[in-house]
Structure 1
């Protein structure tokens, strides 16, 4: 989705290509980016974006133009379509590497 100077969605961005599972997929809450210069979409549009602050540290939601969810590459190489309505606890658990969570595939 990256366009112009909005670097979200660019896989070749030098800083990295990433998202966090803190926000739900396609969250209506804004991504918090370290400089307002990278927030080129008008407020209230998708993908929403604001400058990070002490109360809103850097975070990027998984975002997609696919209706209803996002495609996610799992650690085992499989690709799954994750619905926007996934439980936030489940979303965070499948994004964790050391939480010890056991998540059944039928939970997402």
Structure 2
């Protein structure tokens, strides 16, 4: 696993760790969405830890900074998801395709992303 040093601290690079976790979950009995979800969650945990460590050294404050980071990420992801759906639709993707990507029905996707 790659180790980096930043401000005198050593750590594992988040993308590499997420890739290794994803590779470890390559067991075909686990659905792809579940494997991908676990790898993404691990990546986000590591990113939140790095964010918090850069903000403060106090344990309680670090825990709160991780929460804050993930809240900001959740909000930003919602905006980015709407943009991605609009791009997909603009490039010709069907609502059935959008529903598939969201792991929901075409009707649910349509209702969620149209005004």
User: Shared fold (TM-score greater than 0.5)?
Assistant: no
**Interval containing the TM-score (normalised by the shorter chain):** under 0.3
Q: TM-score when scaled to structure 2?
A: 0.26
Bigger fraction of residues in helix: 2
Bigger fraction of residues in strand: 1
Q: TM-score when scaled to structure 1?
A: 0.27
Q: Which has the higher contact order (CA 8 A, sep 6+)?
A: 1
Larger radius of gyration: 2
